Amino acid sequence: MTTRAFGARVLRNEDPRLLAGQALFVDDVALPGMLHAAFLRSDYAHGRLNGVDLGAVRERPGVVAVYAAEDLGDYWRPGPLLVPPPPIARAVFHERTQVPLAKGKVRHVGEPIAVVVAESRYLAEDALADLYADVEPLPAVVDLAGALAAGAPRVHDDLESNLAAHVIQEKGDWEAARAAADRVIEREYLYDRGVAAAIENRGVVANWDARGDELTIWDTTQAPVVIRNGLAAMLGLSESQVRVIAPFIGGGFGPKIMMFYPEEVVIPWIAMRLGRPVKWIEDRRENFFATSHERGQIHRAKIAVTREGKILGVHDRFLHDTGAYAPYGLTVPINSQCTLLGPYDVPNYYSEFEAVFTNKPIVTPYRGAGRQHGVFVIERLLDAAARELGVDRVEIRRRNYLTPDQFPHDHEIIYQDFAPLTYDSGDYLPALEKAVERIGYRRFLAEEKPRLEAAGKRVGLGVVSYVEGTGIGPYEGARVTVEASGKVSVATGVGTQGQGHFTSFAQVVADQLGVEVADVRVTTGDTREFHWGCGTFASRGAVVAGNAIHAAGVAVRRKVLKLASEILEVAEDDLELGGGKVQVKGAPQSAIPLGELAARANPLRGAVEPGTEPGLESTQYFGPKAGSTASGVHAMIVEVDPETLTLEIKRYVVVHDCGRVINPMILDGQIQGGVAQGIGNAFYEQLHWSEDGQLMNASFMDYLLPTATDVPAIESDHVETPAPWNELGVKGAGEAGAIPVGALFAQALDDAFADVGLEIREIPLSPNRLFELVEEARAAISSEPP
Amino acid sequence: MTTRLPITVTVNGEARERAVEPRLLLSDFLRHELGLTGTHVGCEHGVCGACTVHVDGRAVRSCLLFAVQVHGREVATVESLATEARPETLHPLQQAFREAHALQCGFCTPGFLMSLLPFLAENPDPSEREIREALSGNLCRCTGYQNIVAAVRLAAVKLRETAP
């Protein structure tokens, strides 16, 4: 009776409000009597905090209150450890989490020390100038490589060193692999930090309603339910007294699920204390210091191969910069450790990492969440092996892919979700062949490249593969309700930051109930509407929440059929749903609108029988036993200006497999956006630090986000290997675009400068850095004996 | 307290009078004094373009102007484009953004729309390069710009078709 919504290019339900400027973002919340907060932040990366002089500030007109750590009393305590270390034998982990306001020491530039609350933000910022924090500067731990050196300053005085964690994971026998190998190749790789730079900065508004005995918080968070539960516990309130709303969020990408940011802890407490609503909105400069970062690893990696290029084993030791605190436990380095295995059959693997504290902002997951580091290492090792062995770089990948008969594939190590790293499904070769075909690999190298080079151009091609463990547990839930109007409402606990959930989730339900997608109203990110859940992270919304919504939709459909079969006195099998009605198959005169059915299921008289529920509604949960493994291949042709070493990406091809696709338009958008962030990460965005830990480029003028003239049109294609462990067959797609881009740039640039033997071993790059690397490569060639 | 100056500004066709501090940014004036929160603030240093509005028909960054500077001028914000947030009541440029999936989180979108309207008025049939140049003063972190480019092309067609 209706076309299937699942899989269709359905335009988004949420767009009209966003386009008309009528969507609510956190900074749009305006409440009567609202106060505004501004934070005094550390100017030093590391220092002894001897005290804060708040004296004169309270006298300023318009200032209502000011607080430093001591003023918080018992409420002051380090934040929770979000993810404890996974059950890995012999893992060392030193728990040190961020604090609401610094006490005794400051550990990174931008760490909050005090907060001023005033009648306007302007007045609050004026007042900051009167605050004096007595900080005695200490030498800072800035250089990752030196963080564990004897005599290095210590970020946390009570620890013996800056070691935050030490983890070894092994499968098979690296030593045996090394002994059996024809060649062992060893390299050092550096993959540096970046920021997510969502265009909306963070913000919190809190309102304590004493008469309603209820606290409402609008928060730019990806995990409203977890924030609610945590704040209720911290503030001594019942969870039902705390409502957290994550309204429209202007981009998340991971850092908006760092929990708990100091501001998230402090602002609600102040609102309760003052009995007035309080708003804090981060500015862009603060965002560079006070919102979490990602990345910063140094790898020393070895690959053992046969002369045909078959991988016998990989050995990797790396340092991971976790910043001043590590509330996310081991999530990011474990992602690197696990994702390094990629789509390849690696029989023997030794991976060891040390996470270290530094005097830099906290590192937590940002789109890719450490996966790009693992991908960079394995792809670079394969490129080095291909070059040394004289094997074609596409061919060496073909020879090492896991084959379809090897799934599910247990990698024998533990992933970030605490489950064994098991790939549920995959078929990698078709994606590679599609990408190679589409970019014209052979023809480009054999014909176009020589022709362009003869014309004085520098061009290079890259082809790399990756996998992404997506859709991890523990669970999400959803409630689906048919309302008396005939419209359907869906509520789930995850937050939305632009992924199109108001549409894709509606598509999932629309098919079950035979209604239009536009008639399904989805609510995400409001704990009043749904108070169970974890959050939007790890490319899991469509998989975990999507399957919960599907299950709830199926359950409501059953209720519809049951009730309609009683009313129409026909078997359920003889009924069909569509056009917002249920009817006897082929008999439109029998049709009952769903709204009427919903009203009959919720009567004002008569009895709802024991053991049944009123209404056409169901709440269901989905908890995957393990994640689903998405994968893909990216290929690129790049032209480098020989004089300025600026780049132009001539073509960019993505072949992606995320199982069944709910909405191809939204999926392509996710891929395109991910690639753009990957391009920024690979060639534009780098944080520059001074020796004493000052961030030297904390503005959009100096930290270069890619613009419309930097990002090419992306040609995307799909392979569909349905996920076997969830009913919808979907895999996550949110992060994939960003993951392999660094590795791709490295290979394409190596190719463009093959004549000088360039081998990129670091990300991010820039025209300047590329110039230096090319000059180094040239010098190395000319110094070689003939 | 700082002195306040009386200003009169025509915003979306309506004369608004307020007494404001000379240091009040136009972006804050629009958002917090007038409640026109469709104009967004992303960097407050003139790079991201999210706060773009029209002053006397020209696209400007409202975070780089003080409210007192627009005294006696005409300001238009994203709220002027559509009376209601329904697909059929949207401006052709807004419709094109929806049809081409040119927005994800939607935070930067009002700035893009306001930057593009004067551009399309001057360039009714722009090339891809011209479109990308025109977009390069606005940052989007979600879309990778590709669908925004497509939306501008689509909008150009729609606007040419509806042109008097």
pLDDT tens per residue, range A110-123? 999 999 999 999 99
Q: How confident is the model at residue A319 (pLDDT cuts 50, 70, 90)?
A: very high
Domain with CATH 3.30.365.10 in chain A: 15-21+473-622, 140-194+293-402, 419-471+629-786
pLDDT tens per residue, range A145-187? 999 999 999 999 999 999 999 999 999 999 999 999 999 999 9
CB A289 within 8 Å of CB A695? yes
B85 touches chain A (CB under 8 A): yes
User: Using CB atoms and an 8 Å cut-off, which of residues 17-46 of chain B contact chain A?
Assistant: 21, 23-24, 31-32, 35-45
For domain A31-138+197-291, give the CATH superfamily: Aldehyde oxidase/xanthine dehydrogenase, a/b hammerhead (3.90.1170.50)
Amino acid A3: pLDDT: 62
Q: What is the value of ipTM here, to two decimals?
A: 0.98
pLDDT tens per residue, range A153-163? 999 999 999 99
Q: How confident is the model at residue A211 (pLDDT cuts 50, 70, 90)?
A: very high
- Please give the tally of structural domains in chain B: 2
Find the domain containing B136 and state its range: 87-162
User: Taking the domain A419-471+629-786, which CATH number applies?
Assistant: 3.30.365.10
Q: B7 in helix, strand or coil?
A: strand
The values of phi and psi at residue A593, to 5°, are: -60, 145
The pLDDT > 70 percentage for chain A reads 99
> What class is the A140-194+293-402 domain?
alpha beta
pLDDT tens per residue, range A56-65? 899 999 999 9
Please name the residues in contact with A425: beta carbons below 8 A apart, sequence gap of 6 or more: A407, A408, A628, A629, A659, A721, A722, A723, A724
Asked if B98 lies within 8 A of A16 by C-beta distance, the reply is yes
Residue from A746, A395, A692, A731 nearest A541 by CA: A731
Q: Which pair of structure tokens corresponds to residue A465? A: 């593969």
Cα within 13 Å of Cα(A63), Cβ side: 22
Reply yes or no on whether the pLDDT at A526 is more than 70: yes
CB A680 within 8 Å of CB A763? no
Domain shared by B103 and B133, yes or no: yes
Reply yes or no on whether the pLDDT at A670 is more than 50: yes
Choice between A2 and A364, residue whose per-residue pLDDT is larger:
A364
Shortest distance, CA B72 to any CA of chain A (angstroms): 24
B80, B101, B133: which is the final residue of a domain?
B80
Q: How confident is the model at residue A143 (pLDDT cuts 50, 70, 90)?
A: very high
Amino acid A287: pLDDT: 98
Amino acid A418: pLDDT: 85
Element (DSSP H or E) covering residue A356 = strand A348-357
Q: Which residues of B touch A126 (CB under 8 A)?
A: none
Question: What span, in angstroms and rounded, lies between the C-alpha atoms of B164 and A251?
Answer: 38
pLDDT tens per residue, range A636-666? 999 999 999 999 999 999 999 999 999 999 9
Domain shared by B9 and B42, yes or no: yes
What is the arrangement of strands in the sheet containing A587-593, beginning at the earlier edge strand?
A: A575-578, A581-584, A587-593
Q: CATH no. for residue B70? A: 3.10.20.30
Q: How confident is the model at residue A11 (pLDDT cuts 50, 70, 90)?
A: very high
Question: What span, in angstroms and rounded, lies between the C-alpha atoms of A41 and A112?
Answer: 4
Reply yes or no on whether the pLDDT at A786 is more than 80: no
Residue from A224, A254, A251, A212 nearest A364 by CA: A254
Whole-Å CA distances, B44 to B29, B64, B66, B69: 13, 7, 12, 17
Question: What span, in angstroms and rounded, lies between the C-alpha atoms of A367 and A166?
Answer: 24
B63 touches chain A (CB under 8 A): no
Asked if A25 lies within 8 A of B40 by C-beta distance, the reply is yes
Domain shared by B76 and B130, yes or no: no
Reply yes or no on whether the pLDDT at A254 is more than 50: yes
Task: Closest CB to A665: pick one of B101, B141, B145.
Answer: B101
Average pLDDT of chain A to the nearest whole number: 95
Amino acid A546: pLDDT: 95
B14, B46, B80: which is the final residue of a domain?
B80
Averaged pLDDT in 10-residue chunks for chain B of 164 residues: 89 98 98 98 97 98 98 98 94 98 98 98 97 98 98 97 79
Please name the residues in contact with A421: beta carbons below 8 A apart, sequence gap of 6 or more: A338, A341, A410, A411, A412, A413, A414, A415, A469
Number of H helices, E strands in chain B: 5, 5
Domain shared by B13 and B66, yes or no: yes
Q: B134 in helix, strand or coil?
A: helix
B118 touches chain A (CB under 8 A): no
| pLDDT, average across residues A663-687 | 97
Domain shared by B75 and B91, yes or no: no
Domain shared by B153 and B131, yes or no: yes
Residue from B35, B44, B17 nearest A22 by CA: B35
Domain shared by B62 and B98, yes or no: no
Whole-Å CA distances, A452 to A99, A350, A440, A458, A767: 57, 43, 15, 7, 21
CB A675 within 8 Å of CB A734? no
Task: Closest CB to A676: pick one of B35, B109, B144.
Answer: B144
Domain shared by B39 and B92, yes or no: no
The topology (CATH level 3) of A15-21+473-622 is Aldehyde Oxidoreductase; domain 4 (3.30.365)
Domain shared by B95 and B133, yes or no: yes
Range name among A253-262, A534-543, B13-22, B27-36 with the lowest pLDDT average: A534-543
pLDDT tens per residue, range A549-585? 999 999 999 999 999 999 999 999 999 999 999 999 9
| pLDDT, average across residues A34-39 | 98
B76 touches chain A (CB under 8 A): no
Domain shared by B98 and B157, yes or no: yes
B80, B105, B132: which is the final residue of a domain?
B80
Reply yes or no on whether the pLDDT at A537 is more than 90: no
Q: Which pair of structure tokens corresponds to residue A481? A: 């309700």
Q: Which residues of A touch B90 (CB under 8 A)?
A: 16, 19-20
B61 touches chain A (CB under 8 A): no
CB B37 within 8 Å of CB B31? yes
Whole-Å CA distances, A667 to A576, A657, A731, B101: 30, 11, 11, 11
Q: Which residues of A touch B101 (CB under 8 A)?
A: 11-12, 665-666, 668-669
Reply yes or no on whether the pLDDT at A309 is more than 60: yes
Domain shared by B101 and B68, yes or no: no
